[in-house]
Amino acid sequence: MDEESSPGPTKQTSDDERDEEHLSEQDGELEDEMDDDHCSICLQLFTDRSILIDCAHEFCFECIVKWTEQSRRCPLCTRTIGSYIIHNVRSKYDFQKHHLVPLRSSPPPIQPLQRPGLVAGRRRGNTRPRPWGRRNQSSTEVADAFERAVDKRRWVYHNHLFAKHVASNSFTRFRPCPSPEQFAKSPDLISRATIFIRRELQVWVNLDVEFLTTFIISLLKAIDIRSESSVKLLAEFLDMDRPYTEYLHFPNAEHFAHELYSYLRSPFKSLSAYDAYVQVASLISAQLEMILTQNSFAVRQPRSYRTSA
């Protein structure tokens, strides 16, 4: 990717005139989108404010460059991003262009998981047990268990089954989902979320799991993961090939947000323990059970705690 500085005002090309026009009009176009001082990807104050040439929307330079590695559409308006990004803006005539490398049409092939002990034994023609064989077997068992867990989660998403609601009380040890402020201040919650997200993203092929994990953790620190803005951002990666439907606007993104929300409410640190506990049902059944649980709790409350008619 190439970087180039803009020419002086006496050597303007047609592209540069268009860039100048965008720089002049950008503030008015963003008023209805978001706070002018914050990036809509990381939701933090701008770092190296960067501008998209076709729509004039602004983002942190690092955020939008990461975004372009997965998608070439604006996160806000979904217009095509263009061939380069304007950044390091010092004035109308003093800025840099970051040229984008075309996205690769197909991802590199994924190598199948191999068993180190078996491969080594065949290569050396020796099948005798080795001192390290048990450790390799244990590693393989862990990998196999992980693959089985991912396959189960993939089945859950494919069949549109949602984690059933569990009431928050001392018996279940479930609690309300932490607020963004609570999440940002809790290393334990961040660690639990990271482990869950990394595994959950394995359900979909060809995703940049590490980038998306960092991205989703940033979202959790800033806004409700089930909010419309969060779901739209997630859908840019999880629903690129899914049709928009009236019932579920972004089926994968909405489903993922629900599962992450449900896990963060739970007391479990082990994914296997959570998997063994959680029950799934169709979306309508899960929502109906949540409503019935909440109504049942309200009926059991003392009269003094109920809202008077």
For 17-44, what is each residue's pLDDT tens digit?
555 555 555 444 444 444 467 887 877 8
| pLDDT for the residue 281 | 83
Percent of the chain topping pLDDT 90: 35
**Are 54 and 186 members of one domain?**
no
Residues 289 and 169 grouped into a single domain: yes
Residue 279, in any domain of the structure: yes
When mean pLDDT is compared across 67-71, 99-103, 107-111, 166-170, the lowest value belongs to 107-111
Same domain, 153 and 294: yes
Q: Are 158 and 284 in a shared domain?
A: yes
Would the pLDDT of 129 be above 50?
A: no
pLDDT of 42 reads 79
The last residue of one of the domains, among 99, 121, 136, is 99
DSSP the chain: --EEEPPPGGG--HHHHHHHHHHHHHHHHHTTTS-TTB-TTT-SB-SSEEEETTT--EEEHHHHHHHHTT-SB-TTT--B--SEEEEEEEETTEEEEEEPPPPPSSPPPPPPP--HHHHHHHHHT--S--TTHHHHHHHHHHHHHHHHHHHHHHHHHHTTEEEPP---STTT---PPPPHHHHHT-HHHHHHHHHHHHHHGGGSTT--HHHHHHHHHHHHHHS-TTSHHHHHHHHHHHSTTSPP-SS-SSHHHHHHHHHHHHHHHS----HHHHHHH--EEEHHHHHHHHHHHHHHHHHHS-GGGSPP-
Q: What is the CATH number of the domain that holds 49?
A: 3.30.40.10
Task: Answer yes or no: do 29 and 149 share one domain.
Answer: no
132 belongs to a structural domain: no
Tell me what pLDDT residue 285 has.
Answer: 61
User: Which residue did the predictor score with more confidence, 300 or 6?
Assistant: 6
pTM: 0.52
The number of folded domains in the chain is 2
Give per-residue pLDDT as tens, 253-274. Answer: 999 999 999 999 999 988 989 9
Mean predicted confidence (pLDDT) in 271-284: 86
Confidence band, pLDDT 50/70/90 cuts, at residue 244: low
307 within domain boundaries: no
What pLDDT is attached to residue 73? 86
Highest mean pLDDT among 69-78, 87-96, 147-156: 147-156
Flag whether 130 is in a domain: no
Q: Could you list the residue range(s) of the whole structural domain that residue 249 is in?
A: 145-302
